[in-house]
Amino acid sequence: MPETRQSIMPTYDHRETGDRYWVTSTVNGHPIAWRQPIEDPFVRHTVHVSWRDLLSSLIRRRGLSVEVTVGGDAGIVEDVLELNANYLGPNCTRREEFHRDLLIAMDLMDIDVPPTAEETNP
């Protein structure tokens, strides 16, 4: 029997905040769905290409370009990115820990640390 995985703490409740993610689809650079609200970023999205777009691409011999972009508001995107332990986002404790460890390593190697902006402009 597999071991039960420990769940992470949620950062928002969809029932209270509504859809915080969106999907945008374009065909040959023309938007066909612009920031269509979705519940979560893990989606299966189907793009139906019209016969006019397909025919236009064939006549102009430039191929058919379909692009699907999933995004969201800045706060929720940051939450998703922080699920990766290697992500060092701005103004977060993980970045501060990384910089502290880097400074310790530089001190151990006897490397001079360049002054920060606060130290040069009091």
Low-confidence ranges of the chain (pLDDT < 70): 113-114, 116-122
Model pLDDT, residue 120: 67
Model pLDDT, residue 90: 86
Model pLDDT, residue 22: 95
**54 in Cβ contact with 64 (< 8 Å):** yes
Model pLDDT, residue 21: 94
Alpha-carbon distances of 25 from 49, 67, 101, rounded to whole Å: 11, 6, 42
Domain ranges of the chain: 18-73, 82-114
Amino acid at 53: D
